[in-house]
Amino acid sequence: MHVIVHGGAGGVPDDPQPRQAVLDEAAAAGTAEATPLDAVDAAVRVLESDVRFNAGVGGAVQSDGVVRTDAGVMTSDREAGAAAGMAGVEHAVSVARVVAEETPHVFVAGDHAVDLADDFGVATDVDLFTDETRARWADADPPQGSPKEHLAWLDSRFGGSTSDPTADSDEKEGTVTERGDFSDHDTVGAVAFDGESFATATSTGGRWFALAGRVGDVPQLGSGFYAAPAGAASATGAGEDIAKVTLSRRAVRHLEDGLSAQQAAETAIAEFGELTGSSAGVILLDSDGEAGSAFNSDGMQTSVARR
């Protein structure tokens, strides 16, 4: 089993070594599994449980004060599942897998996705806040009232790495900055290959100060994740822009055109930057068993393991 994982494209963390150790643990956990889907599920669950990443516990807070999680999974035989907008669900990746394996659907969202998780033994009602995220939210002067009032409040905040509405434009766009351990791009993902088939999974807590109910690229098939017989990809970064250019599908298409995993990653990110002016990262595995990764943010930590 060959596994590559990422911990999000964004700023450079203040202390990268502990995060790298968790990424290494996640990649190793994936290689111990029997199938590629088992591998990406196991790897991403490790990352969802670690507060250093914006997935599961420690996820971003939406404008109504709720942490909601999203995830998607896909295999190279084009089985796919996604789940989004789930309050109190730490392991969104496992709910996405339930959607893929237990339902005739591709995407389930909101309270009904939480109910589905509960029925299939995925823990719900989990407190996804940490002391740090709770303090950050309390300091943010949370809005009251209708969605219009929420939109006015988040206008200068959404996607940024600071709650300061006077922050410069790069911070407000969330392109390359990070405030301590608070990165809006610390989405996590994994891709696995067993020599015959691929699987990919991506999971997130969203972006700080998004409108309640916002869903980004992560659970959108072809945007945050994609797998095909030629290979598989997981993307991370500015979600609205990733969705508009279907970044993961774009990267896998380059594999289908004969590029190596590294060439496909670099080409897809170059195209993404030219089209959007925003930041993202992508990881891939190809049918030769080679891994590739590229990003145009300040940093993106990855780990590769093989068994």
Catalytic residue numbers, as ranges: 187
**b/e map 220-249, b = 16+ CB within 10 Å:** bbbbbbbbbebbbbbbbbbbbbbbebbbbb
The first and second tokens of residue 235, run together, are 């993307």
Chain centroid to CA 131: how far?
22
The shares of helix, strand and coil residues in the chain, as percent rounded to the nearest 5, are: 35, 25, 40
Cβ atoms of residues 224 and 255 within 8 Å: no
Q: Scanning the structure block, which residue is given the tokens 């807070």? A: 61
Cβ atoms of residues 205 and 128 within 8 Å: yes
- DSSP code, position 179: B
